[in-house]
Amino acid sequence: MKFNLETIPNGLLGSPLHIYCELQKVMHHPDTSFQELESIIRIDSSLTARLLRVVNSAYYGFKNKVETITHALSIVGTDQLMELVVATSILGKFRGIPNELFNMNLFWRHSVAVGLAARTIAEIKNEEKPERYYVAGLLHDLGRLVICLSVPDQGLRIFEEHSQGSRPMTFYEESHLDCNHAQIGAALFERWNLPDFLQAVVIGHHDPFRDKNWEMQTSIVHFADYLAYEMGLGGSGEMHPPELNPKTKKLLKLDEKSLKKVWEEMNHKLEDTLAAFI
């Protein structure tokens, strides 16, 4: 069976990013105020509540409680809040998947761990907008959930063959669907008109040197994914850690002090961040 976007149920295919699109229209106008941005976000009360929960979590670690979106914007800035809008909007679309179909507890634990590691590595490497690396890490395996929801029978066979075999799960995905979860996730993000950064990092998180324009960005999430598996922090169905591209270590050049910082960030903030986002 050849997988394509039309295989995805209509309820899943439609973009969850209406608020994000409205914010994009006005946020770059020089006369746009924080109050105007808040008025757009508050249209979705559940999104507003989730954003405030995240901003008040250990993920940010602010000492004083943030009670309004305007206050949040003044602290974290518009770019970071936009990234959070993307993450929380998309997560809302994939809540409620039963554990019988897929172990969602392990999946989200792994996703949050990868996001925390990717953000920390991006900060260490002085990458622009490190918050977007958290979002990329959080959403990097979303294509795997799309498979489970769109073609559950094939998804089950992929998991069974992978558990009995020795190859990466992407091999069995490609055998059954002519594509893998990274390609499916990136295609869905393209349909939703998400930034090129997210599309590139998601499609390349198992093959970080596929596009020379995004090698550093994709290598960060690739390495974060590997670390989360090595540390046993959840999983998205893989029976063993995905293979680490040796060129990634050479490109990132992370010393022991840096790796310790990444490890501490993943361990110390994982539980509280998981509770806030999921």
What tens digit of pLDDT does each residue of 213-231 get? 999 999 999 999 999 999 9
For residue 96, the model assigns a pLDDT of 67
Question: What are the residue ranges spanned by the domains of the chain?
Answer: 11-93, 97-278
Output DSSP code: residue 245: P
d(CA 97, CA 44): 22
Q: How crowded is the C-beta side of 57, counted as CA atoms within 13 Å? A: 20
Is the pLDDT at 28 greater than 80? The verdict is: no
Q: What percent of the chain lies above the pLDDT cut of 90?
A: 50
Q: Nearest CA to 17 among 88, 110, 122? A: 88
Q: How far apart are CA 146 and CA 107, in angstroms?
A: 13
The rounded distance, in Å, linking the Cα atoms of 154 and 263 is: 36
* Residue range 135-146, pLDDT digits in tens: 999 999 999 999
Q: Which one-letter amino acid corresponds to residue 204?
A: G
Residues in the chain: 278
CB 102, CB 26: distance < 8 Å:
no
Orientation angle between helical segments 256-277 and 69-93, nearest 10 degrees: 80
- Report whether 175 contacts 147 (CB < 8 A): no
Give the mean model confidence (pLDDT) for residues 8-26. 80
Q: What is the DSSP letter of 213?
A: G
Question: Cβ of 212: how many Cβ atoms within 10 Å?
Answer: 6
The predicted-structure confidence for 111-161, as pLDDT tens digits, reads as follows 999 999 999 999 999 999 999 999 999 999 999 999 988 888 898 899 899
| Phi, psi angle pair for 113, to nearest 5° | -60, -45
Q: What is the CATH number of domain 97-278?
A: 1.10.3210.10
Residue 112 tokens read as 């949050």
Query: What are 175's two structure tokens?
Result: 């055998």
Average pLDDT, the chain: 89
How far lies 239's CA from each of 243, 245, 257, in Å? 12, 18, 29
**What pLDDT, on a 0 to 100 scale, did the predictor assign at position 2?**
77
Predicted TM-score (pTM) of the model is 0.91
Q: Which of 276, 229, 274, 275 is nearest to 112 (CA)?
A: 274
C-beta separation of 156 from 222 below 8 A: no
For 68-127, the pLDDT digits (tens) are 999 988 888 888 888 888 888 888 888 767 676 678 889 999 999 999 999 999 999 999
How far apart, in whole angstroms, are the C-alpha atoms of residue 183 and residue 189?
Answer: 10
Question: Burial of 162 by CB count in 10 Å (0-12 exposed, 13-18 middle, 19+ buried)?
Answer: buried
